[in-house]
Amino acid sequence: MSTLVSQPQDVPCDASVGLISRLLDWLVDSAGAVMTVAVWEILAHFRRPAAYVMLLAATLIAGWNFSLLVTLLAQGRVVPLRQADDPLAQFLGPNVFLVFSLMLIVPVVTMGMVADERRRGTWESLLTTPVEPWQVLMGKFAAAWTAVVVNVLPWICYVAALRWWPGLGLEFDRGYLIGGVIGIGTVSLTLCGIGLLCTSICKAPFAASVATVSAMIALLLLSLAPQSMQYWQLDESWIAAAERVAVWEHLAAFSTGAVDPRVICGHVTFACFLLWIACQVCKVRD
């Protein structure tokens, strides 16, 4: 037996408005919490002298790298064998100096984000305020990504200066610059996700940094998989699948100005997945 109760016509409308209103409130509240944590983390990063030492080191490495680029350009070696071999494209793409710097910057920025908070006891104090662990991790992730991009800024500034410096003004396709910046930003999402996962798992910041470097090396080694598969004459579909996870190739493609939204979505999704795992790890460990 069921009882039928007549509902006024406007009830579903009110209910949906209420639901939307609650959803909006939740979104605003969550965004506020994430932003608060992110701003605090960015300020905390730049409160430490190590942040400026790292920025100085990045500037010096970028400067050295830039001097090599200028030398190559002066020698007239601008006609590449393939697009990604173009020294200009390489500068903001598959560049050993840049990738090596990223592998130093990411662990230094992320290693203490959770492991150090746990060691000091501030993690407990943070999670006894009305914020969710995922909001804290998201805020820390945003801060880590911002700090990494700030440390890569010298490379971008050098190329921008090459293009727009008064009197120098080397004419080249601005797609190199835009694509390169998007590429670095995109790949940094995954690298920061790895860093945050490692700091969530490890007890000590140093262990987290070692784990982050190891995971990043493993990720970069995956970039060699497509060539190896071609050598072993594996199926094309397998090679295509391996190319999708080849970070080095992603950087190469972006730096030529070829911005593939699928790659961006892939990195965003993978970073979200890493954050989700980090969140689960935090829940289990706490």
CB of 141 to other proteins, least distance (A): 17
Name the residue nearer to other proteins (CB basis): 137 or 182. 137
Q: Is 47 in the site for other proteins (CB under 8 A)?
A: yes
Which segment (43-51, 193-201, 220-228, 247-255) binds other proteins by CB under 8 A?
43-51
CB of 243 to other proteins, least distance (A): 43
CB of 124 to other proteins, least distance (A): 6
- Distance, in Å, from the CA atom of 192 to the CA atom of 195, rounded to the nearest integer, reads 5
For residues 255 and 84, the answer to whether their CB atoms sit within 8 Å is: yes
Which segment (39-47, 186-194, 234-242, 271-279) binds other proteins by CB under 8 A?
39-47
Q: Is 55 in the site for other proteins (CB under 8 A)?
A: no
Q: Is 43 in the site for other proteins (CB under 8 A)?
A: yes
CB of 285 to other proteins, least distance (A): 11
Name the residue nearer to other proteins (CB basis): 109 or 274. 109
Name the residue nearer to other proteins (CB basis): 150 or 159. 150
Number of residues in contact with other proteins under rule CB under 8 A:
23
- Distance, in Å, from the CA atom of 244 to the CA atom of 242, rounded to the nearest integer, reads 5
Binding mask 104-133 for other proteins (x = CB under 8 A): ----------------xxx-xxxxxxxxx-
For residues 176 and 92, the answer to whether their CB atoms sit within 8 Å is: yes
Name the residue nearer to other proteins (CB basis): 137 or 215. 137
| Per-position b or e across 106-115, b if 16+ CB within 10 A of its CB | bbbbbbbbbb
Crossing angle between the packed helical segments 133-164 and 49-74, to the nearest 10 degrees: 40
Rounded (5°) CA angle 232-235-236: 110
Among 12, 25, 48, 285, interactor with other proteins by CB under 8 A: 48
- Distance, in Å, from the CA atom of 214 to the CA atom of 60, rounded to the nearest integer, reads 25
In the 3-class helix/strand/coil scheme, how is 119-184 assigned residue by residue? HHCHHHHHCCCCCCHHHHHHHHHHHHHHHHHHHHHHHHHHHHHHHHCCCCCCCCCCHHHHHHHHHH
- Distance, in Å, from the CA atom of 36 to the CA atom of 73, rounded to the nearest integer, reads 45
Q: Is 36 in the site for other proteins (CB under 8 A)?
A: yes
Q: Looking at this protein, which amino acid is placed at residue 172?
A: F
Q: Is 59 in the site for other proteins (CB under 8 A)?
A: no
Among 33, 152, 184, 198, interactor with other proteins by CB under 8 A: 33
Name the residue nearer to other proteins (CB basis): 22 or 174. 22
Nearest to 145 by CA among 180, 179, 106, 115: 106
CB of 129 to other proteins, least distance (A): 4
Name the residue nearer to other proteins (CB basis): 44 or 201. 44
Q: Is 40 in the site for other proteins (CB under 8 A)?
A: yes
Which DSSP state fits 203?
Answer: S
Interface residue list for other proteins (CB under 8 A): 29, 32-33, 36-37, 40, 43-44, 47-48, 120-122, 124-132, 286
